[in-house]
Amino acid sequence: IDILLKNPVCPDTLWKKTPEKFTVGVEAVFPKDKISVDEVKMELFYTSSRTVICTYYLEDKGISGDLIPKDGRYSTEVNSEEFNNFVGSMFFHFTATDIDSTVFSSPLDYPLTIVDGEKNLPPSIRNINLPDSINIEENPELIVEIEVSDPQGNDDIKVATCMIYFPLSPVADKIFHLNDEGINGDKLKGDGIFTCRIKTNEISFYGEGVYTFLFKVEDSSGNKSPFVWKNVYFYSESGNFPPSVTIVSVPDSIKAKNDTILFEVKVSDPNGLSDIAKVYFNSYKPDGSPSSANPVYMLDDGGKTPGFNSGDKKEKDGIYSKLIIITPEVSKGNYRFEFFAVDNEGLISPEKKHIIVVY
C-alpha cells in the first residue's frame, strides 16, 4: 500500500427533501516514483448492508468541482438528487490506484447521514429601504426597512440587526434591532418587512459623511443570512450637527450618608466645543417619578463659577461636572439618570442613561 488518502471534504448530513449540489474531494499522496494516477474513486455505501448506492470518479484537472489542477486534491461535483430515495446511515468510500494498477491505497471512509425531512435553510435579505442621503435638519427621525425572506416562513426569523458604522470607522458604532410586529415604525405585522425607527441625532453626531448600514438576519436554528449593506450620506445644509455625551465618572451605586459625589461627562460636537450651549441631567426616583430638582446643569468651568460648586477640574476641556450630595433621607433603590447636551442652535444630543443604586 503506497498511496495515502487523507483530508476528505464531504458533507456529514443531507436532507432527503432538500436536494443539494456539493463537491466531494480527497487528497492523494503518491510515491515519488509512481506519480501517474489511474483513478481516484468514491463510492457511497449503505452502512448496514454495505450496498453500493452510487459511484463517482474524482479528477485533479481543475474541472468538475476541482479548483486547482495537479495539486494532489481530487474532486467531483455531486447532486444529492441521485440518491434521494435513501435515508439513514451511509458512508463515502474512497480508493485510488496508479496507472499500472500496481500501487493501491488503503480505503478511506467518511460517514454520512441522510435525514428523512427538510433542511432548515438560512434566511436572506432581498431589499433595503433607505435613502441615499439624509439632511438631518429635515429628518429628525429615520425609518429603516429591510425585506426578508425565509424558506421555512418568516415566522422562523429570530432576530434582524442593523449595525451602523460612522465615517471611516472600522467597527460598528451603533446597533439596532428591527421588528416585523407592527410597532416602532413597522407598518404591518408579519409581512416580511422588518423595521426600526431611529432618531437621527443618535447617529449623526459624528458629523457630515458617509455612514454604512450593515444588516444581518438570523433564524430560530441559528442560520444567518449573508450580510447586506448600504452607504448613506448624512449632511446638514447649515453645517450644524448635534453634540454627543459620554459618561466619564458616574458611580453605579451610592450610600446615602451625606457624601459628596462628583458626576463627570465628556461632551463632543462636530462643530467644536464652542457650539455647546448647555449640559444637564434629569433624574428619576425608584418609583419612576421625576426629581423636583430637574434639570440639573453641569459646567466645564474649572470650578470657577461662584456659588455653583461644579467640582470641575479643568476649564474648557469638554468634561462637564457637577457635585451632588445624597442625603440619608432619600428613598433607597434604583435611580435613573439621563444626561443631555444642547448646542447653540438647539440640537440635542442622544440621551445617555445611567442607573445608580442608592442604598
List pLDDT tens digits, range 291-338: 999 999 999 999 999 989 899 999 999 999 999 988 998 999 999 999
* Dihedrals phi, psi of 156, to nearest 5 degrees: -80, -10
Q: Is the pTM of this model over 0.75?
A: no
Rounded-to-integer distance, Cα 339 and Cα 190, Å? 36
Domains, in order of start, for the chain: 4-115 (2.60.40.10), 124-235 (2.60.40.2550), 244-358 (2.60.40.10)
Query: What's the CA angle centered on 78, arms 228 and 4, to 5 degrees?
Result: 110
For position 103, what pLDDT does the model report?
73
Locate cell 488518502: which residue? Answer: 5
For position 27, what pLDDT does the model report?
94
Percent of the chain scored above 90 by pLDDT? 75
Residue numbers of the chain with a pLDDT score lower than 50: none
Rounded-to-integer distance, Cα 193 and Cα 183, Å? 12
Is the Cβ–Cβ distance between 88 and 46 less than 8 Å?
Answer: yes
For position 128, what pLDDT does the model report?
97
60 Cβ partners below 8 Å, 6+ apart? 28, 37, 40, 66, 69, 70, 71, 72, 73, 74, 75
Rounded-to-integer distance, Cα 51 and Cα 54, Å? 9
- Region of 309 please: left (phi>0), alpha (psi -120 to 50) or beta: left
For position 99, what pLDDT does the model report?
74
For position 30, what pLDDT does the model report?
76
Rounded-to-integer distance, Cα 133 and Cα 156, Å? 33
